[in-house]
C-alpha cells in the first residue's frame, strides 16, 4: 500500500508529463477502438450481406455436388439431416433449394439462365428475396409462375403475365420442358445476377427437372457470424458422407481473402500507432528515471532493497498505462456506440461498388466486446513490458554515481 | 567500546589512464557517542572515506568492521539491510523523498525496518519535535527551507536507531544561522541518545563543535586530535 501511495504521488509530480503520456495512450486507444470497430463493422455487414444475399451461413449438399454442380448430384433431404439441423441450437433458419442451368425462350429469343427452385416463405426469411421484386408479385407456395431477373426479362422482351418457355436437361438426362407465366420481375443490385436468375417454387422446379423431392442444397442460417464456429463444429461432427456441410467462408473464398487482406492492413496501422505510443511511454520513463537518479540512490543508501524500489517504479509505469488505457476505453464506448447507431453514409465510387455487390453503402461500426478489450489488453501488455525497464534500472543503478548526481 | 574499526582502508579509482588513490591506507577506530569531524582540503578523500565506512562504496582493500560485522563481506542484499539497521545518513542536500511529507520521510525508514504502526507514529513525532520541526510534520520537502530539510534528514537518521550517523557536509548548503541551529540540535541529540556522529566538513563552525577532528590529506590521516567540550 505504501508502494502504491509513493508511486501514485510520483505520477503527479510532473502532472503535465503524466497527462500527456496517458493522453497519448488515451487517444491511441480511442483511435484503435474506432478503427477496429469500423473494420469489424464493415466485415460484419459484408459477411451479413453476402450471406443473406444468397449463400446463407452454411449449406448442406452432397460431396459430389460440390465438385460438380449438376442436377444428377442432388439429394433427397432425409429425417436424420433435419433432426441434426433442428437440434443445433445456433441455427435460426433453413430453406431448401434446387438449382440448375437451363435455356429460357420467349417468342423469338433464347438465352441461358439459372433456375432456382425455392420455398418462397423460408427463402424470404433467409435472403429477403421479396425486397428485390421490382414489378408484379412474389411467389406463393405451389405457385406455377416464375420471377425473372430484370435484364434477362428485357433481353427476352417479356413482362408480367407473358409466357416463358424453359427447356433443358432434367434428372438423369430426362428432357425438361415447360411454359411458365411471368409473375414478377426481380431487380438485384448486381448486374451479374440480373442477367441470369429465374426463381420458381421448389415443387414446380422439382417437377420441371423430373427430380421429385430432390435438392441441390439445404441452406442454414445462424444469428451472426460470431455464432458460426459453434454451429459448424456440431454439424461437422454429425453430418456424414455422402453429405457435407460448408460455411460461407468456404463457399466464398474470395470474400474471405479480401477480409484477410484488409485485416492485415489494419494490423499494420495499429502496430505503427502502438509503436509510437510505446516510444512515448518509454521516453517518459527514461526521463523520469534519469531525473530521479539521486533520489533513487538515496533510497537505496538509507536501506531500501532494490527490488522494492523496482516495484514502486513498476507500479508507476503501470498506473500511467492503465490511466490512459482505462480512460480511453471508457471514452471509446460511447463514441463507438454513437457510430454504431449512426453509421456513416458513403458516397462516390466506393458506394457504387458496394451497391453493385449488394451491400448497403454505409460505413458500419461494431460494438463487439473484442473491439474494446483487445485494445486494453494490448496497451496493458505494452506497459507491462516497458515497466520491466525501470525494474532493470533499479537493480543496476550505480549507487555512488547516483548519489553524486 | 569501539563501534567502528577500520584497518588499512584503500580506494583506488582507475579513471582513464590515471590512477587516483582517493583513500590511501587509513586505520582508525570510532567509539560510541563520538562527535567527530573529518576535515581536509577538497579532493583529499573525505567523501570516499565516509562512503566506504557507510557501506556505499566498496574499498579496493582493507576492512571495515561495524559492531563486529565485516561490512564488505556481506552480500549486496544483506548490506542494504545492514545500512538500514545500523547507519543513519545525512547528505549534503536533497536527502528527502520529495513526494513524502516530513513525517512520512521519517516514518519511511521505520516502515522499511518493519516496525509497528504505533511505534512509528510516536517516534516520528518525537524525533521531529526533538529537531524543533514538530509543526512541519505534514509539509512536503519542497515547502521546507534548506535548514529544515536537513533537520528532517537528521530526524530520519535518528529514527532508525542506528549505531552511528554519517553526515557528508550537512551544512554546506546552509546559511550561518541554519548551520548553527543544526549543529546545536545534532550536538543535543548526540548527548541525549549517545548516538555517534561522524561528519565530513570544511566548515569551521562544525570543527569548533567537534570533540574529535581527523584531518585527511591525499587519502591519509594527517592528524587525529581529541578535545574536551
Ligand atoms: N568515481 C570517481 N572516479 C574517479 N575519481 C574519483 C571518483 N570519486 C572521487 N574521485 C577522486 O578521488 C579523490 C577524492 O575525492 P573525494 O570526493 O573523496 O574528496 P573530498 O575530500 O570529499 O572532496 P570535497 O571536499 O571536494 O568533497 C579526488 O581526487 C576525486 O577526484
Ligand atoms: Mg566530499
Mean pLDDT by 10 residues, chain B (229 residues): 92 87 94 94 94 95 94 95 96 89 94 94 94 94 93 94 94 90 91 93 89 95 90
Over 70: is that where the pLDDT of A1 sits? no
- In whole angstroms, how far apart are CA A281 and each of A5, A6, B159? 21, 19, 38
**ipTM of the complex, rounded to two decimals:** 0.94
Q: Do B56 and A298 touch (CB under 8 A)?
A: no
Which residue of B lies nearest to A309 if distances are taken between CA atoms? B112
Average pLDDT over residues A362-372: 89
Nearest C-alpha of chain B: how many angstroms from A280? 24
Average pLDDT over residues A177-203: 90
Q: Minimal CA–CA distance to A395: which of A334, A329, A327, A313?
A: A313
Residue B156 contacts A where some CB pair is shorter than 8 Å: yes
DSSP for B128-177, please give it. Answer: HHHTT-GGGTT--GGGS-HHHHHHHHHHHHHHT--SEEEEESTTTTS-HH
Q: Do A305 and B80 touch (CB under 8 A)?
A: yes
Band (A240; pLDDT cuts 50, 70, 90): confident
pLDDT (0 to 100) of residue A127: 87
Strand intervals (E) in A15-145: 58-62, 75-76, 91-105, 110-118, 133-136
CATH no., domain B2-226 = 3.40.50.300
Best of B14, B17, B18, B22 for a ligand 1 pocket test (most atoms within 8 Å of beta carbon):
B22
**Ligand 2 centroid – CA A41 distance (Å):** 67
Q: Which residue has the higher pLDDT, A255 or B28?
A: B28
The 10s digit of each residue's pLDDT in A280-303 is 889 989 999 999 999 999 999 999
pLDDT (0 to 100) of residue B95: 86
DSSP for B48-59, please give it. Answer: HHHHHHTTSS--
Q: Do B109 and A2 touch (CB under 8 A)?
A: no
- Distance between alpha carbon A214 and the CA centroid of its chain, in Å? 32
pLDDT (0 to 100) of residue A351: 81
Residues 6+ apart with CB under 8 A from A289: A296, A313, A390, A393
DSSP-assigned letter for residue A330: H
**Ligand 1 centroid – CA B49 distance (Å):** 10
Residue B24: count other Cβ atoms within 10 Å of its Cβ. 18
Please indicate whether residue B16, judged by its CB atom, sits closer than 6 Å to ligand 1.
no
Nearest C-alpha of chain B: how many angstroms from A370? 39
Q: Do A303 and B100 touch (CB under 8 A)?
A: no
Q: Minimal CA–CA distance to B26: which of B227, B170, B225, B223?
A: B223
* Chain A, chain B: beta-carbon pairs less than 8 Å apart: 57
User: How do the domains of chain A map onto residue ranges?
Assistant: 2-51+255-404, 96-200
DSSP-assigned letter for residue B92: S
C-alpha span between B33 and B2 (Å, rounded):
10
Pairing of strands B164-168, B196-201: parallel
Residues whose beta carbons lie less than 5 angstroms from ion ligand 2: B 47
pLDDT (0 to 100) of residue A358: 62
Q: Do B97 and A298 touch (CB under 8 A)?
A: yes
Ligand 1 atom with the shortest distance to the CA of B14: 4
pLDDT (0 to 100) of residue B226: 92
Tell me the CA end-to-end span of chain A in Å, nearest whole number: 29
DSSP-assigned letter for residue B41: S
When mean pLDDT is compared across A35-49, A343-357, B6-20, B100-114, the lowest value belongs to A343-357
A301: which chain B residues are within 8 Å (Cβ-Cβ)?
A: 54, 56, 83, 89, 91
Residue where the block lists cell 443473406:
A52
The 10s digit of each residue's pLDDT in A119-140 is 999 999 988 889 889 999 999 9
DSSP-assigned letter for residue B113: T
Band (A356; pLDDT cuts 50, 70, 90): low
Average pLDDT over residues A238-256: 86
The 10s digit of each residue's pLDDT in A61-118 is 999 988 888 899 999 988 888 899 888 889 999 999 999 999 999 888 999 999 999 9
Amino acid at each position: 500500500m505504501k508502494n502504491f501511495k509513493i508511486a501514485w504521488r510520483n505520477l503527479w509530480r510532473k502532472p503535465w508529463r503524466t497527462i500527456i503520456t496517458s493522453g497519448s495512450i488515451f487517444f491511441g486507444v480511442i483511435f484503435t477502438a474506432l478503427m477496429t470497430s469500423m473494420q469489424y463493422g464493415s466485415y460484419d455487414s459484408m459477411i451479413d450481406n453476402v450471406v443473406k444475399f444468397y449463400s446463407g451461413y452454411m449449406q448442406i449438399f452432397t460431396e459430389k455436388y460440390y465438385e460438380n454442380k449438376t442436377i444428377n448430384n442432388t439429394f433427397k433431404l432425409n429425417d436424420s439431416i433435419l433432426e441434426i439441423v433442428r437440434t443445433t441450437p445456433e441455427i435460426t433458419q433453413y430453406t431448401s433449394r434446387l438449382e440448375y442451368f437451363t435455356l429460357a425462350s420467349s417468342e423469338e429469343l433464347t438465352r441461358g439462365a439459372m433456375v432456382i427452385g425455392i420455398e418462397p416463405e423460408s427463402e424470404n426469411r433467409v435472403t429477403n428475396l421479396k425486397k428485390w421484386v421490382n414489378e408484379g408479385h412474389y411467389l406463393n407456395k405451389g405457385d406455377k409462375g416464375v420471377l425473372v431477373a430484370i435484364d434477362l426479362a428485357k433481353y427476352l422482351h417479356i413482362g408480367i403475365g407473358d409466357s416463358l418457355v424453359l427447356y433443358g436437361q432434367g434428372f438423369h438426362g430426362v428432357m425438361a420442358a415447360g411454359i411458365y407465366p411471368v409473375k414478377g420481375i426481380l431487380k438485384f443490385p448486381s448486374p451479374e445476377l440480373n442477367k441470369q436468375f429465374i426463381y420458381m417454387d421448389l415443387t414446380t422446379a422439382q417437377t420441371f427437372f423430373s427430380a421429385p423431392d430432390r435438392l441441390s442444397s439445404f441452406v442454414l442460417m445462424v444469428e451472426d457470424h460470431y455464432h458460426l464456429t459453434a454451429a459448424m463444429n456440431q454439424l461437422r461432427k454429425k453430418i456424414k458422407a455422402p453429405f457435407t456441410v460448408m460455411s460461407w467462408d468456404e463457399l466464398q473464398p474470395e470474400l474471405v481473402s479480401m477480409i484477410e487482406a484488409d485485416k492485415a492492413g489494419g494490423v499494420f496501422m495499429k502496430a505503427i500507432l502502438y509503436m509510437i505510443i510505446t516510444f512515448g511511454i518509454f521516453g517518459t520513463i527514461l526521463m523520469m528515471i534519469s531525473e530521479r537518479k539521486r533520489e533513487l540512490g538515496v533510497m537505496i543508501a538509507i536501506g531500501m532493497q532494490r527490488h522494492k524500489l523496482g516495484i514502486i517504479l513498476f507500479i508507476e509505469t503501470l498506473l500511467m498505462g492503465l490511466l490512459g488505457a482505462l480512460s480511453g476505453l471508457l471514452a471509446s464506448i460511447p463514441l463507438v456506440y454513437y457510430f454504431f447507431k449512426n453509421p456513416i453514409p458513403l458516397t462516390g465510387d466506393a458506394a457504387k461498388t458496394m451497391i453493385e455487390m449488394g451491400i448497403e453503402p454505409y460505413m458500419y461500426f461494431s460494438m463487439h466486446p473484442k473491439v474494446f478489450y483487445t485494445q486494453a489488453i494490448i496497451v496493458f501488455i505494452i506497459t507491462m513490458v516497458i515497466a520491466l525497464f525501470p525494474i532493470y534500472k533499479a537493480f543496476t543503478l550505480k549507487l555512488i554515481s547516483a548519489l553524486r548526481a | 567500546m569501539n563501534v567502528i574499526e577500520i584497518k588499512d582502508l584503500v580506494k583506488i579509482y582507475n579513471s582513464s589512464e590515471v590512477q587516483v588513490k582517493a583513500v590511501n591506507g587509513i586505520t582508525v577506530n570510532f567509539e560510541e557517542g563520538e562527535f567527530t569531524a573529518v576535515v581536509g582540503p577538497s579532493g583529499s578523500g573525505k567523501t570516499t572515506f565516509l562512503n566506504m565506512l557507510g557501506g556505499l562504496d566498496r574499498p579496493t582493500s582493507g576492512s571495515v568492521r561495524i559492531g563486529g560485522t565485516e561490512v564488505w563481506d556481506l552480500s549486496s542484499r544483506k548490506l542494504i539491510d545492514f545500512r538500514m539497521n545500523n547507519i543513519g545518513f545525512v547528505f549534503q542536500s536533497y536527502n528527502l523523498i520529495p513526494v513524502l511529507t516530513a513525517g512520512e520521510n521519517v516514518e519511511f525508514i521505520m516502515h522499511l525496518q518493519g516496525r509497528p504502526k504505533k511505534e512509528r507514529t510516536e517516534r516520528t513525532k518525537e524525533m521531529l519535535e526533538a529537531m524543533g520541526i514538530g509543526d512541519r510534520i505534514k509539509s512536503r520537502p519542497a515547502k521546507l527551507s534548506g535548514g529544515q530539510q536537513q533537520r528532517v534528514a537528521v530526524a530520519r537518521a535518528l529514527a532508525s536507531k542506528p549505531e552511528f550517523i554519517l553526515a557528508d557536509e550537512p551544512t554546506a548548503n546552509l546559511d550561518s544561522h541554519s548551520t548553527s541551529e543544526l549543529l546545536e540540535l545534532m550536538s543535543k541529540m548526540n548527548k541525549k541518545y549517545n548516538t555517534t556522529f561522524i561528519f565530513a566538513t570544511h566548515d569551521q563552525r562544525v570543527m569548533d563543535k567537534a570533540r574529535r577532528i581527523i584531518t585527511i590529506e591525499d587519502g591519509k590521516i594527517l592528524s587525529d586530535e581529541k578535545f574536551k567540550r
